[in-house]
Amino acid sequence: MRMRNPLRNRGWRYRAAGSGAAALLAATALASGVTGAGTAAASATTKHAAPKYNVVLIPGLTTDPFYITMGIGAKAEAAKLGVNLIWKGATTWSTTLQTPIVNATLATHPSALLIAPTDSKALFKPIDAYVKAGIPVITVDTTLANQSILAGAVSSDNFQGGEAAAKAIAAAAHYKGGVAVINVEKGVSTTDLRQEGFLAQMKKYPHMKVVATEYDNDSQTTAESQARALILAHSNLVGIFGTNLYSAQGAGDGVAASGDKGKIFVAGYDAEPSEVKLLRQGVINILVAQNPAQEGKLGVQYAYDYLTGKKNLIPKKQVLLPNVVMTTQDINNPAIAKYIYKTSL
Amino acid sequence: MEDQELPGGTDAGSSNGAAPAPRSGASGVVPTIAVRGITKHFGSVQALRGVDLEIYPGEVVGLVGDNGAGKSTLVNIISGGLQPNAGTISVEGKRVTFSSSLEARRLGIETVYQDLALAPDLSVWANIFLGRERSVKGPLRWFGWLDRKTMAKEAQADLDRTRIRIDSVNSLAGRLSGGQRQAIAVGRAVAWGSKVVLMDEPTAALGVEQQERVGQLVESVAGQGVPVLLISHNLPQVYRLCKRVIVLFQGQVVANLQRDDSTVDDIVSWITGAALGTKTP
Amino acid sequence: MPVKLPPAFSPPGTAASPRVARRGEERPAWIGVVDRIGDVWIVGVLGLMVLVFGLLNTQLFTKDAWLSISNYSVQFLLLAAGQLFVILTGGIDLSDGAILGFTGMVSGAVMQSMLNSHEGNVVTTVAGFLVALVLGALIGFGNGFLITRLKLPPFIVTLGSLTAIGAAPSLINGGTEVSNLPPQIGTIGTSAIGGWVYTTFLVAVVVTVGFGLLLHRTRFGLRTFAIGSNGLSARRAGINVDRHIVLVYTISGLLSGLAGMMVMANFNVANPLSGQNDELDAIAAVVIGGASLFGGRGHMLGTFVGTMIISLLVTGLVLVNVNGSWTEVATGVIIVAAVALDQVRLRLAER
């Protein structure tokens, strides 16, 4: 039982407000195709002394591993392209803290702005000021409700992430049994998409059934209790999908406390260090990791393309990156482990 | 009773015998309370201008005056709630100063406030003992463990002494009738008021029958030798209960009347200032 | 007609005059019965809920269900116990959930750095507890100090603490969870005495009983009631009201710090979002338990039952397969019903 206190909405856990799942195929194609094209263009231009560009990256908050990992990806790409990347932002997810930073940065006349807006409407005006000053803006992770002024937008495909979680649980449970979702709260676009993807994918398995959908209001304690009650209520339960960090950790703890570790499979979202620790212990069995480094990388690339007159290389629609599935079994595989979020730039 | 130590500022005997004895008061008897030359001003407003007043053991004294005459200010000063700009207070001949109402209470000066100052959510006994709770003996005393039984018993005894009937001292004060609550406030004052009880408009909120009850309470208090200073607008009641009536007018004592020598009309003429034209206090 | 706000919205000592019973010497006997039922009716509500949920799904009567419910209740028992003291004085503590999260993070960070410099596990655990308890008490003391010295409304002061301290955990350890903790912490969180009673739950119950005795059996408790019931008369009775209020907020902070440690023990990790929104659940538990937001009235047993009702709802509604959003609807209904029934009861009693 949790009540939502409107005074204390730490919304940053609900980042990555992807605009929709429609562009799934296109996005997957673009992600690979465009990446190739961009890199090619980049290696061509770095050879002659290119003009020095200053690209600013303002994340939702600077202390979160997701954004730190994005910053790492962006920095690496910037170094490759000979672009100067400036990373600045607030330490907490706050529109009132982010807005003055956005406004003040305009005075430094950067070449381009990459930003994860903390509010899809409130940040429109400050961002529009850049566009009016002739500075291209690309959103990463979150975006604006009105994307028409943007030079580009990159995010994660949450619907695909939900599908991936469903596929992984189904495979682990040999495609039969009941599953449940522990979501954060209704009306959050990112986690709702994850849930929709999960439910849609589960429909494809004739011997699997979604038995319940709970909301924990981002409380690990509530998620834990709900998981334990779900196990009691549904004897056929084989899996729980926690749609964000705390839902997943709570679900994992609940399954472990009930003594069902390894019998009921827990899928979580993101790859923060604490979740990965639980993944290694088998408390969480599956993690759907986003690819923030790639988001950062693409953001820098598009900015560079724009500045070097190759606007046609930037997709018109928001690019939605597919997610990476990690399991207890393959987390030590370097090809998978590289997607674990980092804690320092 | 515990906590009988005097607060700082006590020095003995300064006003002993200096008070002019009132005609009915026993000559040579030390007044329980003697007030000398009290003045008090709030900014430029002069509330009290050199008030003298004595109360003797066993007396019921009325303090009357029009609104703004300074009654409440005077009562607040005697009960420690306000500090005078000048003047002295003596208790049984010892000069005292109070910096709070708690210090006045420690010297045995109890006040029944107009609002009764009861906590409606506390039981009768808790109201009577609030601030002076009894602890059990033994190690639990360290935690301030309440000796509820003793307090309930003593509270019952205190109320019995003042002939107040309450079904149970464990009832919540807020659940009692106005008259009963009044009785508890008076009973509490009497229980602790070893020297004097001040009553500020004790019957203002009461019906006729309950006013009668309070009157009996006042008399029973005085019968135990504890004087009562009764502040009231209810002149017939004052006249009935008080042998002596002090009239305040514009911050000064203008009359010190013996009931046997005066009528209610006399009191009224002093209160309104009409008598000032013919007599000099 | 002006709306009367609870004293938590006004500076201490300026609260409106106390409630006064209507006059009338005699009350019918049946009202006395209602009165007595009043103190225990909430126990009946809990019993009824257990019965209904249990009949719909007998899994409620299993050890696993009990462990889940009791485990969930730990942090709310501790927060609500402190909150009860505050509410009894006519105040409110909106910051207790934030203190829980903050003290947990600071304690976690301290323990992590102690482990990194090779301190012993036991020493580190003890130090972690001390840090959380002292820090919690200090923040509570700060709340009380501001409320009494600056004469600010408790609602405003603790709202400020909630906002400031609620944001602070994201400044510790880069805003990420601290999971490098001594193994003793995890043991406290997962060990169950006889398989039935979690150590954390035992701690919460012992603390609740202890503070219940402090509240209902000692001078300190009596004065807590007196201050909320009629602050002016408490002052006139010689009670140092300001000092008392500071102590009450300090208790609330101390228990929030302890709750922070218990949550950390449960998950074996210090989580920067712990305690978020917990203050509302704690207040709800106290109110469901029969306390008045105007102060002066409440009971630790009622608060305990109120907490168990809130904890039971989470598990019970999942067990009977009610959709998650209904949990909040149900809680809202129970809060309003609890207060409404209490009002009816009081009106009857005051007749």
ipTM: 0.83
What residue type is assigned to position A306 of the chain?
Y
- Is a pLDDT exceeding 70 seen at residue B280? no
CA proximity to C226, closest of C89, C99, C58: C89
Give the model's confidence band at B245: pLDDT under 50 very low, under 70 low, under 90 confident, else very high: very high
Number of domains present in the structure of chain C: 1
Architecture of domain A158-289 in this structure: 3-Layer(aba) Sandwich (3.40)
- Quote the CA–CA distance of C302 and A325 in Å, as a whole number: 48
pLDDT at A332: 93
CA–CA distance, C104 with A188 (Å, rounded to integer): 28
- Cα Rg of chain C (Å, integer): 21
Question: Tokens representing C129?
Answer: 């507890």
Residue C121's H or E segment, with its range, is helix C121-149
Tell me the domain boundaries of chain B.
Answer: 11-277
- The answer as to whether C54 is a domain residue is no
User: How many CB atoms sit inside 10 A of residue C257's CB?
Assistant: 32
Adjacent-strand bridge partners of A114: A57, A138
CA distance A249 to chain C (A): 9
Name residue A160's amino acid: Q
Q: Which of B5-14, C104-113, C193-202 has the lowest mean pLDDT?
A: B5-14
Q: Closest Cα to residue B236, out of B202, B205, B269, B267?
A: B267
Residues of B in contact with C211 (CB under 8 A): none
Confidence of residue A279 (pLDDT cuts 50, 70, 90): very high
Which amino acid appears at position C6 of this protein? P
| C176 vs C311, more confident | C311
Q: What is the pLDDT of residue B114?
A: 80
Alpha-carbon distance B7 to C278, whole Å? 47
Average pLDDT of the residues in C198-227: 96
pLDDT at B267 over 80: yes
Domain range for residue C309? Answer: 31-49+63-349
For residue C21, tell me if it sits in a domain. no
Distance CA B124, CA B132 (A): 14
- Strands (DSSP E) found in chain C: 192-193, 197-198
- Could you tell me if A61 lies within 8 Å of chain C, comparing CB atoms? yes
Q: What's residue A30's pLDDT?
A: 40
pLDDT of residue A334: 94
Residue C14: pLDDT band with limits 50, 70, 90: low
Question: Residue C35: which pLDDT band, with cuts at 50, 70 and 90?
Answer: low
How many C-beta atoms surround the C-beta of residue B37 within 10 A? 13
Could you tell me which of A40, B176, A218 has the C-alpha nearest to residue C278?
A218
Distance from CA of B20 to the nearest CA of C (A): 33
Query: So what's the pLDDT on residue A203?
Result: 96
Residues from chain B that touch C20, judged by Cβ atoms under 8 A, are 120, 174, 178
Question: Does some domain include residue C229?
Answer: yes
The pLDDT of residue B2 = 41
pLDDT in tens, A45-85: 444 455 589 999 999 988 888 999 999 999 999 999 999 99
Is C338 a residue whose pLDDT tops 80? no
Which of A141, A135, A79 is CA-nearest to residue A106?
A135
- Please give the Cα distance from C252 to C95 (Å, whole number): 9
| Interchain CB contact of A138 with C (< 8 Å) | no
| Between residues B275 and A299, the one the model is more confident about | A299
Percent of all residues in chain B with a pLDDT value above 70, rounded to a whole number: 86
> Mean pLDDT, to the nearest integer, of A156-164?
96
* Per-residue pLDDT tens digits for B37-91: 999 999 888 899 999 999 999 899 999 998 888 888 999 899 888 899 999 999 9
Torsion angle defined by CA atoms of residues B252, B256, B262 and B267, in that order, rounded to the nearest 10 degrees: 20
**How many beta carbons lie within 10 A of that of residue C55, not counting itself?**
10
Chains A and C touch (3+ CB pairs under 8 A): yes
What 3-state class would DSSP assign to A140? strand
B:51-90 residues touching chain C, CB 8 A cutoff: none
The architecture in CATH of the region B11-277 reads 3-Layer(aba) Sandwich (3.40)
**A219, C324: Cβ pair inside 8 Å?**
no
pLDDT at B224: 82
* For B128, nearest residue in chain C (alpha carbons): C237
B151-175: pLDDT as tens digits: 999 999 888 876 677 788 898 998 8
Please give the Cα distance from A270 to A302 (Å, whole number). Answer: 25
Instruction: Match 């018109």 to its residue by tokens.
Output: A316
pLDDT mean across residues, chain B? 82
Per the CB < 8 Å rule, is B122 touching C226? yes
Give the chain B residue nearest C18 (alpha carbons): B120
What subunits make at least 3 CB pairs under 8 angstroms with A? C
In whole angstroms, what is the distance from residue A260 CA to residue A263 CA? Answer: 5
CA A32 from centre of chain: 18
What pLDDT is recorded for position A91? 81
Side-chain half-sphere CA neighbours of B89 within 13 A: 24
For residue C185, what are its two tokens? Answer: 């912490």
Q: B160: which DSSP letter?
A: H
What percent of chain B has a predicted confidence (pLDDT) above 90? Answer: 30
C191: its two tokens: 């060990």
Average pLDDT, chain C: 88
Q: How many helices (H) and strands (E) does chain B have?
A: 8, 11
> Contact at 8 Å (CB) between A184 and A217?
yes
Q: Is the pLDDT of residue B14 over 60?
A: no
Residue-level pLDDT at C144: 97
Residue A50 confidence (pLDDT)? 52
Q: At what angle do helices C300-319 and C29-56 cross, to 10 degrees?
A: 30
Chain C residue numbers touching B118 (CB-CB < 8 A): 18, 230, 233
Q: Is residue C56 part of a domain?
A: no
Q: Residue B198 class from Cβ within 10 Å (0-12 exposed, 13-18 middle, 19+ buried)? A: buried
Portions of chain A given CATH number 3.40.50.2300: 16-156+293-321, 158-289
- Say whether residue B122 is in contact with chain C using an 8 A CB cutoff: yes
pLDDT of residue C25: 42
- CB-count burial class (<10 Å; 0-12, 13-18, 19+) for B10: middle
Residue B24: pLDDT above 60?
A: no
**What b-and-e string marks burial along C307-341, b requiring 16 or more CB atoms within 10 Å of the CB?**
bbbbbbbbbbbbbbebebeebbebbeebbeebbee
Rounded (10°) CA dihedral A227, A230, A234, A236:
-20
With an 8 Å Cβ cutoff, are A3 and C277 in contact? yes
Q: What is the DSSP string of C273-313?
A: TTTTTHHHHHHHHHHHTT--TTSS---HHHHHHHHHHHHHH
Domain made up of A16-156+293-321: CATH architecture: 3-Layer(aba) Sandwich (3.40)
Of the pLDDT bands very low, low, confident and very high (cuts 50, 70, 90), residue C350 is low
Q: Which pLDDT does position C324 carry in this prediction? A: 64
pLDDT above 80 for A233: yes
* Residue range A282-300, pLDDT digits in tens: 999 999 999 999 999 999 9
Residues contacting A305, CB < 8 A, separation 6+: A38, A41, A311, A313, A314
Task: Determine the residue type at C339.
Answer: V
CB-based contacts of C23, cutoff 8 Å, min separation 6: B177, B178, B179, B207
Domain contains C14: no
Contact predicate A168/A179, CB 8 Å = no
At C34, is the pLDDT very low, low, confident or very high (cuts 50, 70, 90)? Answer: low
C282-310 pLDDT, tens per residue?
999 999 898 988 899 999 999 999 999 99
Residue B204 forms contact with C (CB below 8 Å)? no
- Is residue C351 scored above 80 in pLDDT? no
CATH number of residue C318's parent domain: 1.10.3470
Chosen for mutation from B2, B111, B135, B175 (greatest number of chain C CBs closer than 10 Å) is B175
CB-count exposure of residue C306 (10 Å: 0-12, 13-18, 19+)? buried
Contact indicator for A175, A141 with CB cutoff of 8 Å: no
| Residue B108 predicted with pLDDT over 60 | yes
Instruction: Please indicate whether, in this complex, the C-beta atoms of B118 and C217 are within 8 angstroms of each other.
Output: no
* pLDDT (tens digit per residue) in B30-45: 899 999 999 999 988 8
Render pLDDT for C221-279 as a digit per residue (tens, 0 to 9).
Answer: 999 999 999 998 898 888 999 999 999 999 999 999 999 999 999 998 898 888 988 99
Q: What is the distance between the alpha carbons of residues C36 and C13, in angstroms, rounded to a whole number?
A: 31
Q: Is C54 helix (H, G, I), strand (E, B) or coil?
A: helix
The more confidently predicted of residues B20 and A256 is: A256
Q: Which pLDDT value is given to residue A331?
A: 94
> What letters, b where the CB count within 10 A reaches 16 and e where it falls short, cover A258-281?
bebbeebbbbbbbbbebbbbbbee
What burial class does residue B136 get, using C-beta atoms within 10 Å of its C-beta: 0-12 exposed, 13-18 middle, 19+ buried? middle
Residue found under tokens 């899994």: C59
List the chains bordering chain C where 3 or more Cβ pairs fall under 8 Å: A, B
Q: Please determine, for residue C19, whether its predicted confidence score (pLDDT) is greater than 60.
A: no
Q: What is the mean pLDDT of residues A256-279?
A: 93
- The secondary structure element, H or E, covering residue C157 is helix C154-167
Predicted local distance difference test score (pLDDT) of residue C219: 95
Amino acid at B226: V
Query: Mean pLDDT, chain A, as a whole number?
Result: 86
